[in-house]
Amino acid sequence: MKRTLALLALILAGCPEPPKVNRCIGAVQDLEDCWKWDNARGAEGPGDPYQALVGSDPNDSAPLLVSGLTNSKKTKIDDRIHDIPTVGDLCFHILMAIFQKSAKEFERDGVFIIEREEFAIYGIVITKPETRVRLQQRFMKMAKERGWTGEKP
């Protein structure tokens, strides 16, 4: 009974919604739990962090995704044929969606594209850590040009 009253008091008090950047932080952390890739929807997993980040305010999500490019933790996406994608790989795909860029635009940075690969997560390959650092620098520059620095005006 006490719990019910406490919950009701919180609801009536109009507790503020948690800051959206906090939700983006959680979603970036949850990318490692993604277990399936769909070319139309991207990565799928508990809480749908991929779609949450794609649909978030870029000012909140872009800086977190840029820093996540170097995250080498493996996801749970495993077709038992290809290397398991990392959180950094998912961050790259989300950043391409947010900035409306194609993988071809990053070939000179060291991104390899396998043309005949059915699934984009396996057809766009980043093998070198220095490539990820170059991508971080490039995306951070694009984010700053758009004012997406994570700071509130």
pTM: 0.85
Beta partners for residue 86, in sequence order: 74
pLDDT digits (tens, 9 = 90+) for 7-32: 434 444 555 555 556 789 999 999 99
Specify the pLDDT at position 5: 40
Looking up tokens 């170097």, which residue turns up? 70
CA neighbours closer than 13 Å in the CB half-sphere of residue 98: 29
pLDDT digits (tens, 9 = 90+) for 86-117: 999 999 999 999 999 999 999 999 999 999 99
Cα–Cα distance between 90 and 73 in angstroms, integer? Answer: 11
